[in-house]
A = this chain, B = another copy of it.
Amino acid sequence: MTSLPADPAPFYAAHVFVCTNERPPGHPRGCCKDKDAEKLRNYMKVRAKELGLGGVRINTAGCLDRCELGPTMVIYPEGIWYRAETFADIDEILETHVKGGGRVARLMLQPEDGPPPAKA
């Protein structure tokens, strides 16, 4: 095995990816966009700035493939997934997780909530 030099320092302290993927109407898996994901992402960007959180990036993501559980997001590097449905949910994730380093247990997704069904 090759010996590796140390990895670079993280570029973002908290890198949030909010799924805003859209599927065709009537798709059995649904999609985050139909669950107001864009509005929630926009709100999260504004609130993160208002809170003065440094080193935080609120990013748009394509399909995170946990559609049935949406609207979904994942926060790296810790890899914690959330379902956030309201502005109050977003506030709590920003305050408790991103700012405070804690977890919002009531909104967290567990691995057993997936993986999604095999694709046809």
* A78 contacts B15, C-beta separation under 8 Å: no
Quick one: copies of this chain in the complex?
2
A60 / chain B contacts, CB cutoff of 8 Å: 61-63
A79-B76, A114-B11 in contact; A102/B62 too (CB < 8 A)? no
**Which residues of chain B come closer than 8 Å to A74, judged between CB atoms?**
11, 15
Which residue of B is nearest A114, CB measured? B11
**Band of interface residues on A:** 35 or more
A45 to chain B, nearest CB (A): 11
Known: A60-B63, A76-B76, A76-B79. 11 other contacts (CB 8 A): A4-B103, A7-B78, A7-B79, A7-B80, A8-B109, A11-B111, A11-B114, A59-B62, A59-B63, A76-B77, A77-B78
Please give the residue numbers on chain A whose beta carbons come within 8 Å of chain B beta carbons, in ascending order. 2, 4-5, 7-12, 15, 17, 57, 59-66, 74, 76-81, 102-103, 105, 108-111, 114-115
21 A-B residue pairs with Cβ-Cβ distance under 8 Å, sorted by A, are: A4-B103, A5-B105, A7-B78, A7-B103, A8-B108, A8-B109, A11-B74, A11-B109, A11-B111, A11-B114, A11-B115, A12-B79, A17-B17, A17-B59, A59-B63, A59-B64, A60-B62, A60-B63, A61-B62, A77-B78, A77-B79
